[in-house]
Amino acid sequence: MNIPQQAMRLRIYIGEDYRHGGRPLFEIIVEQARRQGLAGATVLRGISGFGANSRIKTSKILMLSEDLPLVVEIVDAQDKIERFLPYVDEVVGEGLVTMEPVTVIFYRHSGAGGKP
């Protein structure tokens, strides 16, 4: 699969406990991105953060939160990202979604899970 050098990065900021249809929201977003043929998706787990409600979520022992912030990142061609946005709009009831241009330096696959 190829990604153009000038691509878009979609970032979806949600909480770890967010659900859609009884399933973790981050999982269904990643699965749908794969079904739609996007180049890849990565879920990043934050150690601290807050959103629109200003409630701090942290992994500190004394303030242990099970609903840590997550970011789902997807990089691909702009048209493919834009086709994915209606699905994101449908399933993300609470969160933040951003999109920005990125320059792809390389996108490689070795077939063996490691460096070529």
Q: How many structural domains does the chain have? A: 1
Whether 23 maps to a domain, the answer reads yes
- Output the pTM of the full model: 0.84
What pLDDT is stored for residue 59 in this prediction? 60
Which residues, 6+ apart, have CB-to-CB distance to 75 below 8 Å?
3, 7, 8, 9, 10, 39, 40, 102, 104
> In this structure, what CATH number is given to the domain that contains residue 53?
3.30.70.120
Whether 115 maps to a domain, the answer reads no
Whether 111 maps to a domain, the answer reads no
Residue 94 confidence class, pLDDT cut points 50, 70, 90 = very high
Whether 41 maps to a domain, the answer reads yes
pLDDT in tens, 39-85: 999 999 988 777 766 666 666 555 555 678 999 999 999 999 999 99
Provide mean pLDDT across the span 26-45.
97
Whether 24 maps to a domain, the answer reads yes
Query: Are the beta carbons of 100 and 8 closer than 8 angstroms?
Result: yes
Domain range enclosing 48 = 6-103
